[in-house]
Structure 1
Amino acid sequence: MSYELAPPEPAGLIATLSSLGYSLPAAVADIVDNSISADAVRIDVEFTWADADTWIAVSDDGNGMSPGELVTAMTVAARGPQAERSAGDLGRFGVGLKSASFSQARQLVVTSSASGEWHTRCWDLDLVESTGEWRLFSQVDTQTETILTRLRGDGHRGTIVLWRRLNGYANTTKQDTKAQKQFYAEARRVEEHLGMVFARFLTGAHKRQMRFSGAAVKPWDPFLMQHPSVLRLPPERHPVRDGEVRVEAFVLPGTPRLTPAEQEGAGGPNGWLDQQGFYVYRRDRLILAGDWLGLRGLRKEEKYNLARIAVDVPAEADFEWGVDVRKSSMVPPVGLRPTLERLARVTRERAADVVRHRGLVAARTHGDPLVYTWKVNRVDERLVCRINRSHPLVQSVSRPGGAEPARVRALLRLLEETVPVATLRVMHETGTEDDPEPFAGSVAEADADVTEVAQQIFEAMVAGGRSPAEASDRLRSMSPFDQLRGFWTS
């Protein structure tokens, strides 16, 4: 059969790889994956601000590469997803180094040593696009070599990945303090992300040493496994075609059982709401952090903030789980979804119980009955909000002659500042069926309580200069009196 060779045009392929949607934290994590796959014990991530010459580097003391292996590593898709990999290899498609790097920088430099001799290769995307050829350089400019020499130090083995001409910083100057602040803000996000994604590698007997700009990266445990008040549901193991999936659910302690530092730390890089849900691990590397995996009827709500579930997936099941190139999203197999949904609902209900109990305590008179300004209860499947008549300020204003202007202003201010938003959020069920309704939402004859309130409003408007007819007209347009019948409708 006749055929023609149709190699991809470099500029188009670079544009495709650069637009895969990598965030900077995800891109750096992809480079760290290679260091862990190379059995590195020490991994250093460095962010250095130098105006237009700002750079980022990841260095390790792993196995290193020979010149041939280095060229293969720099070649796009030289190893596909079906290539045989070691048990500790975190790779998947063979494009991680290139796609992650091209998404962040115009120059990718890798230098590596397996036996004491360092070899360097460099992609300069500007030259690739201008020449239309994949020219992989084995030399670099003097400034780049100076950076590499410093990063190598006295090391005789390992790999260094260096990004130069970073996207978004190519035209910055010394006077651009806004860009500098943005760069270091991104650096903090990357550090937190690494502590979350590689937490399992930073603890235990065979832990790696990971440093970020010289400081140790702190692992983040989303499950607070060392806290005595964490509720751990029995782990489950479910066979799949290429091994088994292990699932373990955790319900974190409520706020009263956490110190302020523990509460802030447990919120994680993205905050309590975004960190609830499933945590999917692949070879101990966190792929997905805080997501309900698109399971039917499960969405993020604050009353489920304490629900977190660990899922360990075998790397051999990548295809069934739909692992993407960035290793940042997964879709559970159809056969496993009912199991995950069942466990999620159980965990969410347990978490809601913990939060709901806290909410009720905060809403009602717990301990000292004079503390809380508002009461929130559920009556006949509806939420009911009431001002606490036992509160001293409320009692004082309610007594004959007690409605002094200063005291009334103080009460109004207190009510404004203590609206029970958190409690309502916790106790509110999905949908609007249990929304609080004024005076029980009756579209009928007003009772004595409603009439008394309406009478006071009516008299206040008349005292303010309105005629009785005008006051009645205005009362008929006010909620909830516009839905009720009384003296103002006659």
Structure 2
Amino acid sequence: MAGDWKFEVPTTGTKHLPPDARYMEALSSQGYGFEVAIADLVDNSIDAGAKDVVIHFLRDGDQLVSLLIIDDGGGMTEEDLDIAMTVGGRRNYDAQALGMFGTGLKSASLSHASAVTVVSKTKRSRPAGRRWLMERATADFQCDIVEPNYAQLLMDRYAGCPITWSGTVIRWDGVKNFPQTGGGGQTDRYLHRTINKLGFHLGLYFHRFLTRDDFNITIAVEDVRTGIEYMNFGVVSLDPFAYPVSGHPDYPRAFVAEVPSIGSVGFDAHIWPSKSNLDEYKAVGSVIERQGFYFYRHNRLVQAGGWNNFRQPDQHLALARIAVDLPDNSRDVFRLSVKKEGVEMSPEVVAALEDARDHNGRLFTQYLNDGESTYREARKTSGTVRKPVIAPGKGIDAAVRETLEEELPILPGEEPIAIRWQSLVNSIFFDLDRENRTIYLNQYYRAAILGGRAGTLNDAPMVKSLMYLLLHQIFEKEYSGPREKDNLQLWQAVLVSAARAELDRMADSG
């Protein structure tokens, strides 16, 4: 009834309702990626004034045992440690601090480890430590006090490299994505894959810090049994705007959007040159993912690519990137995720961008047109424009998909073409499913093509790339005419013959 509605909710008092200990499970289930979690801990090191951060993988022979993040920052007293290890505990952040919510250390660590130990010392305090053991944290919020002698031992282990007078060591044990068994080179493969991704991620998101002379991030691997440190390298800055020559002579160009609630916000628009093979261009992701806004908070990249509801991704904007330094007073306008890997942009910013201009009055929307035209011109080869194709999909290696999408215009709104292995009669090498946009390869020949290696979703990149190039046009036509059908029969015969030859060679070598 309309007359009974109250705009204010009446209350009769308050009641203390502390969180259930199982809240720790929710805290550790926020979907932190491995690289994102490590980056969150590096944020803490930077806030502590660290000049050197070391990410140290420890292994015992073939078994990975622990991961440590060590810094030479100002360190923490026991009281500081208690605050840092308290769920929701928040210190007074500096105006330029990277930390925000007071949950990163716990949630990032316990997302990937069953135990996190933090040992720290300041110039004036002795080493002290605390440990969250996941099973104890979820039971009654009991945080372990680290034995002082061990805290001193851990500090001494890294004395001089990087810790001098003060610093912090974070130790992860029971890391969930470490290989359970390290035999057969599994640990080496894991380290190669993981460290490569981690180096790219940290190099990208901390690139402004890494260009400084007084800040370094090092990734190292040590065998605790022998004491041999057989991998040690510095993370290299990957500036997503470090192109050698602009793709368009009028850029970069600074635009300003007048946002009613916070005032002027700068958008620095860039256009990359086409077909770049630089890591700075390719490190972000696919052609679609790397275009758009690059948001920075206090010089730390917090979003790499994306249009934030301003417009839809478009292959023709693959070269367009915009750097945005978030104003300090913008929390209600640019909302940063807890994991610091994405920004929610309010509708008033989207509206303001439509009228954003540079100092000459050029509209931001003109920049988008220039980005598209630069891409289209670059697609022309000797006066010939390549025809749009259906995009490659699952089963084709990501690097190959990326190259195909850069070299060929993609038909918008079309389901990609997947390539899968399936049991087929031995007289054919492949089969086509037009309705489900899938090329099926004969499972019988898989081992021979892979040379005995284990199969994966994106295996046999050479064969699958050639099959895509051979067959994608079949999916782009409503039906196959006599010429296409004859070609399919020809390709089947030749490919079956070649696959059987591979089987024969495999049998002879066995």
Shorter chain as denominator, the TM-score bin is: 0.5 to 0.7
* Structure 2 Cα separation of the partners of residues 422 and 132 of structure 1: 53
Flag structure 1 segments of 5+ consecutive residues without an equivalent. Answer: 365-374, 378-382, 385-419, 433-476, 482-490
| Correspondence list, 1:76-225, <5 A | 76-79=87-90, 84-115=92-123, 117-129=126-138, 131-139=139-147, 149-153=156-160, 155-169=164-178, 172-175=180-183, 177-178=185-186, 180-204=188-212, 207-213=214-220, 214-224=232-242
What SS does the corresponding residue of 2:296 show, helix, strand or coil? strand
* Structure 2 Cα separation of the partners of residues 314 and 31 of structure 1: 23
Return the offset for 1:133. 3.8
Q: How far does the alpha carbon of each residue in 1:81-117 deviate from its partner, in whole angstroms, 9 at most, with x for none?
A: xx75212211111111111011011111111111152
Partner AA of 2:374 in structure 1: V
Return the offset for 1:341. 5.3
Q: In the superposition, relative to structure 1, how do residues 341 and 222 fare at CA in structure 2: closer, same or farther (>3 Å)?
A: farther
Contact kept in structure 2, 1:77 and 1:93, CA below 8 Å? yes
* Structure 1 Cα separation of the partners of residues 106 and 289 of structure 2: 30
What SS does the corresponding residue of 2:409 show, helix, strand or coil? helix
Kindly indicate which of the two structures has a greater share of residues assigned to helix.
Answer: 1
Q: In the superposition, relative to structure 1, how do residues 158 and 237 fare at CA in structure 2: closer, same or farther (>3 Å)?
A: farther
What SS does the corresponding residue of 2:46 show, helix, strand or coil? helix
Pairing partner for 2:85 from 43, 49, 74: 74
Flag structure 2 segments of 5+ consecutive residues without an equivalent. Answer: 1-11, 221-231, 357-363, 390-403, 415-478, 484-510
| Correspondence list, 1:296-335, <5 A | 296=311, 298-299=312-313, 301-335=314-348
Aligned to 1:356: 376
What SS does the corresponding residue of 1:16 show, helix, strand or coil? helix
What SS does the corresponding residue of 2:199 show, helix, strand or coil? helix
Q: How far does the alpha carbon of each residue in 1:155-190 deviate from its partner, in whole angstroms, 9 at most, with x for none?
A: 221112111111133x72342633552344122211
Q: How far does the alpha carbon of each residue in 1:109-165 deviate from its partner, in whole angstroms, 9 at most, with x for none?
A: 111111152221111112334x534233232896x9765542344622111211111
What SS does the corresponding residue of 1:73 show, helix, strand or coil? helix
Return the offset for 1:352. 2.0
Aligned to 2:33: 23
Contact kept in structure 2, 1:53 and 1:165, CA below 8 Å? no
Contact kept in structure 2, 1:123 and 1:135, CA below 8 Å? yes
Aligned to 1:56: 67
* Structure 2 Cα separation of the partners of residues 84 and 218 of structure 1: 31
* Structure 2 Cα separation of the partners of residues 265 and 323 of structure 1: 24
Partner AA of 2:117 in structure 1: V
What SS does the corresponding residue of 1:14 show, helix, strand or coil? helix
* Structure 2 Cα separation of the partners of residues 140 and 114 of structure 1: 14
What SS does the corresponding residue of 1:110 show, helix, strand or coil? strand
Once superposed, what is the RMSD of the aligned Cα atoms?
3.3
Return the offset for 1:332. 0.9
Partner AA of 2:137 in structure 1: V
Q: How far does the alpha carbon of each residue in 1:37-72 deviate from its partner, in whole angstroms, 9 at most, with x for none?
A: 112122222223346552222211111111101111
Identity score, percent: 26
Q: TM-score, normalised by structure 2?
A: 0.65
Q: In the superposition, relative to structure 1, how do residues 120 and 9 fare at CA in structure 2: closer, same or farther (>3 Å)?
A: same
Contact kept in structure 2, 1:61 and 1:155, CA below 8 Å? yes
* Structure 2 Cα separation of the partners of residues 2 and 352 of structure 1: 60
Contact kept in structure 2, 1:324 and 1:330, CA below 8 Å? yes
Contact kept in structure 2, 1:53 and 1:164, CA below 8 Å? no
- Range that drifts further, 216-225 or 49-58: 49-58
Contact kept in structure 2, 1:280 and 1:287, CA below 8 Å? yes
